[in-house]
Structure 1
């Protein structure tokens, strides 16, 4: 499954990673590609929706997490160990190899 996350809305991002974790727990391969505002997900601070924690759980469960390098550059941000800098070719790979692709924006 491929999930393209294009929002920094705390609840939407939190739910995207909850879905990814659930899919991994049920034996699916899951990749999340952060695009546009989605590259800000790792920096979301919200008392109710701990997105960073869900991202780490997703990573620990075996999910693949990628972030658009151009989108990070626009925001003067870098990738991280959990979320490496990626390219449109990586997004194309996610979209063309996944059985299902979900976009959350």
Structure 2
């Protein structure tokens, strides 16, 4: 099964749970693509003692999960040189929607 996930928050607990969910899907052998939009493009910079979002993101990437980030959202925050994933477009997000059997948003 193919799972598409859109994450729109950098709120520590929600973003952490979103990536935990993505990792659980990958661990079950599902194909997963995540698209970061809005403030979620800053997830790799979330610093929280209880909810380690960057660690869950790294785990997802190491497990061969595919991660995209909205280029417009990255550019508006001047993060072009700091992102851990490819700068993508809304067309990439639509491609994920067409590819996925199921979509989830956080």
Please indicate the TM-score interval, normalised by the length of the shorter structure: over 0.9
Aligned residue in 1 for 2:85: 83
TM-score (norm 2): 0.93
Gaps of 5+ in 1: none
Q: Distance in 2 between matches of 1:80 and 1:73?
A: 11
Moved over 6 A (4+): none
Q: Does 1:102 align with 2:104?
A: yes
Contact 1:68/1:86 (<8 A) preserved: yes
Q: Cα RMSD over matched residues? A: 1.2
Number of residue pairs the alignment of both structures matches: 104
TM-score (normalised: structure 1): 0.94
- Structure 2's unaligned 5+ residue stretches are none
SS in 2 for 1:102: strand
* Residues in 2 aligned to 1:75 and 1:82: alpha-carbon distance in whole angstroms: 14
What residue number does 1:56 align with? 58
Residues 1:7 and 2:30 aligned together: no
Is the CA contact 2:43–2:54 (under 8 Å) kept in the aligned structure 1?
A: yes
List per-residue Cα deviations over 1:45-75 (Å, max 9, x = no partner): 1111110010000000110000000000111
- CA apart distance, 1:79: 5.8
